[in-house]
Amino acid sequence: MNVLKQFLKADIDPAWLLRIFTIIPVVLILLGGAGAVWIYFFALSLLPQTDAHVETPGLSAEVQVVRDGNGIPGIIGQTEEDVAQVLGYVMAQDRLWQMDYLRRAGQGKLAEVFGPAYLERDYLMRSLSAACGNLVEREQLGERERTWLHRFVTGINRYIATHTKKRPVEFSFLEYQPRPFTPEDVMSIVLGLAWESSYAPRVDPLMTRILGHLGREKALQLFPTDPAAPEPLIVSDLIGWEPKGPLFSVAGGWHDYERFPGFRGGCAWAVGPQITRSGKPMTACSTYQVLSAPGFWYRARLVAGDFRLSGVFVPGVPVAMAGTNGQVSWGSISTPVDDADLYIERMDTDEAESFWRVDRPVKVRLSNEAFRIRDRSAVTRTMKFTDHGPLVSDVRNSKALSLRWTAAYGLGLVRSFYWLNRAPNGNGLKNSLATLRAPCLEVVWADEKGNWGAQTAGLVPIRPRGSDGIVPMPAWTGVHDWVGFIPFADLPSSNNPSAGMAVVADGRPGGDGYPYFVSCYWSPDSRADRVRLLLEQGAPHFRESFQRILNDTVSPLAQSLCPLVLNAVEKEGTKSGPEEEARKILSAWDHDMKRDSAGAALFGLTYKSLVKELLRAPLGEELYQGFTAFSPAASRMVTKVFLSGQKAWIGDRDPQSILTKSFREAVHQGTKLLGADLKHWHWGEIHRAEFRHPLTERSRFLEILYDVGPISYRGSEDTIDYSGSSLAYPYRVLEGVSLKHVSDMTDPPMVSSITPLGSSAHFFSTHYKDQTRAWLAGRSLGDPLVVSDIQKIRSSTILFKPSRQPAVTMK
């Protein structure tokens, strides 16, 4: 400090001082620039090789990998086994850290690398995994499927073993290294996907808390219903009880959405040759999913002798969920099946050492699990199981809640889709789906013989009288247990329907006349009706007309609700210039939720205000945020009160005054957010998609590298081109379309698809987000199937050559 004082007192030429203080920031800028350059070239060195030869043990012949201008690989070999191995290697090139993340999420091992915020979710996933047992054995793989899976894993491990110093930078940021993959790891990814895509485990616990909070009469007004569901039995133990546990916490931060990007339904259809330009059947599917970075889907084209497959894969899983093999094309979306239930367990004591079954106690099964936690000491926790599944709540008055889930009976996805990817026709495709258990899916398909249709697949419980699948049932009597599953032959299915089209869009599975109770968690048929209308108006169809339907953003809810809002406002009269301007804008609006639309912005704000007026006060802030995160439940309440005239929920309040108040609140809120000139309001300014990477919770700097957005976005919860938000984040799009896929069964099939980001998970890759502009513009990219077409769009080539070195094996 004295030296500094002497220096400041010294008689120094002011010109020199100016030079010194000019040089210092320049030096800092140069050092920073040098650091940025070093980071840039270091990151580039980690990107996959292009135009190279790779010595590969285990191959029987050379395999060529041809990447197109978007980095999407075409893998061309002589045998399926060789192609499976190279698929594993190439997928690891592009997505290794993402694959590792997904397996950790499915295994309950995220806290090891992310810290204690993930511990409760890890505990839950380990409980589910333990309840499901050995997933590989339960998959009941035959020799061919097992070989395909093992060779795929061998390819992943070859990449890991040969790139110890060139791994994705996420491993460096989090300071750990990936262990080799096993077939069990692949099944863990499927388990995580099945769990996060299931409606019931997200909504049943919330409804249980609402029941405890509101009581029977009020809660049942709020619960969704189904024509085939009975009025549920309400056990008195549930009233006043708001259970605690990882299943019962309401999402409170971005990471709750990002930890595994589960499916949120979708929209898909198949049409017959009578309404297509090519005279061949066509399919289309749009998958709705939690938005996250890196991009979720992995696209690849595989050729092995006579076997051809152009498809879309879950990272780390070697089967195509949408695609074509030349003989059949398909697309799959999750379906709103209720595949899990909570049960009230009567315990011997609050320590829950035994549970009752009829007239005798049964010992709780215990499992002690050690959880490693980043920057913390490891902890050991005890998991408890009944014959239904894991205990998932606290114990209250010697009662606790257990969870029964269909995945405990197996998954079946790898086996099912392995054969679906090779199906020779529609019948073969449907037969392959008979072994699928979880997740429950809706598959649309078309074959080269001119057949087409849709098939529901997965285990759907048959429940006894008194169970609507929402309210927990007593377990100790035994009379409320599932009584089997809907036979596959009786699941909703259509084959060349006379209407010329088969449409599925999150509606009631099987339609209005389906006799089985499947779920209460379906959405209104308005989206499917919109698809049917556009299919009827646009025939004959071709790839571009299907793409236009997939991009449609007209809101059926707005078409129904806007006249009621306008009628209420006109009766009461507007009280200001902005309100009158808003009324005129809404009157002239075409109900299209385009991102540059003032009418869409006004309706979006009005709808959010309306939902808040209906639900926030009676539910309280936390339950309100949880309830509105499941958008079909909120829209059903709006429809019930204002369109169907069922006013019990609002009591003595006037529906028209609620509509007017919501409209005025929307004008007030919009003026604060978008300015005083209503004509220049844009929906996309307050409706923005942001693709968040799990790593960016740790650092603002990493957000710059990994996150994509915020992006001005279109659509709403009920449009075909879907986008959804939570009232916890009312101006952020949390869910959207993660895949659009179209096929026309010409010879060879004309197939195209698009995903929001890109084929690579490396943030410095040009393919990290190079599809985003096309996705926003509603365009798609071709997916060639024939070798000559794959070669025609070649941007780079890697040759995998057989080697005498031993292949990397799985321990």
Could you report the per-residue pLDDT of 326-373, keeping only the tens digit for each?
999 999 999 999 999 999 999 998 788 999 998 899 999 999 999 999
DSSP character at residue 726: B
* Residue closest to 296 by CA, chosen among 777, 789, 803, 757: 757
Report the mean per-residue pLDDT for the chain: 90
Angle at 288 between CA 673 and CA 293, to 5 degrees: 70
Rounded average pLDDT over 621-627: 90
Residue type present at position 565: V
Distances (CA, A) of 366 to 120, 340, 373, 393, 661: 18, 22, 22, 15, 54
Per-residue pLDDT tens for 212-249? 999 999 999 999 999 999 888 898 889 989 899 888 87
How far is Cα 548 from Cα 544, in angstroms, rounded to an integer? 6
Q: Which two tokens stand for residue 596?
A: 């540059």
pLDDT at 233: 87
The residue that leads in pLDDT, 381 or 352, is 381
Is pLDDT at 251 greater than 90 in this prediction?
Answer: no
pLDDT at 259: 64
Q: Is the omega angle on the peptide bond into residue 205 within 30 degrees of 0, that is, cis?
A: no
How far is Cα 712 from Cα 728, in angstroms, rounded to an integer? 19
How far is Cα 504 from Cα 285, in angstroms, rounded to an integer? 9
**Residue 686 near residue 674 (C-beta atoms within 8 A):** yes
Is pLDDT at 386 greater than 50 in this prediction?
Answer: yes
* Residue closest to 422 by CA, chosen among 587, 553, 309: 309
Ramachandran region of residue 86, left (φ > 0), alpha (ψ -120 to 50) or beta?
Answer: alpha
The residue that leads in pLDDT, 229 or 19, is 229
- Provide Rg for the chain, Cα atoms: 28
Ramachandran region of residue 240, left (φ > 0), alpha (ψ -120 to 50) or beta?
Answer: left
**Residue 424 near residue 451 (C-beta atoms within 8 A):** no
Q: Which two tokens stand for residue 129?
A: 């995994």
How far is Cα 651 from Cα 645, in angstroms, rounded to an integer? 12
Q: In 701-762, at which residue ranges do the beta strands (DSSP E only) sit?
A: 708-712, 723-724, 732-733, 735-744, 750-754
Confidence of residue 39 (pLDDT cuts 50, 70, 90): low
Confidence of residue 11 (pLDDT cuts 50, 70, 90): very low
Per-residue pLDDT tens for 73-97? 999 999 999 999 999 999 999 999 9
- The neighbour count for residue 527, using CB atoms within 10 Å, is 25
For the chain, percent of residues with pLDDT exceeding 90: 80
- The neighbour count for residue 574, using CB atoms within 10 Å, is 18
The residue that leads in pLDDT, 774 or 253, is 774
pLDDT at 735: 93
**Residue 191 near residue 135 (C-beta atoms within 8 A):** yes
pLDDT at 249: 79
CB-based contacts of 54, cutoff 8 Å, min separation 6: 89, 798, 799, 800, 801
The stretches of 402-525 forming alpha helices (DSSP H) are: 413-420, 426-433
Per-residue pLDDT tens for 200-214? 988 999 999 999 999
Distances (CA, A) of 264 to 441, 630, 734, 735: 11, 10, 11, 8
Q: Is the omega angle on the peptide bond into residue 578 within 30 degrees of 0, that is, cis?
A: no
Helix 577-588 with 556-572: angle, nearest 10 deg:
140
**Residue 769 near residue 708 (C-beta atoms within 8 A):** yes
**Beta partners for 752?**
742, 782
Per-residue pLDDT tens for 270-325? 999 999 999 999 999 999 999 999 999 999 999 999 999 999 999 999 999 999 99
Q: What is the pTM of this model?
A: 0.92
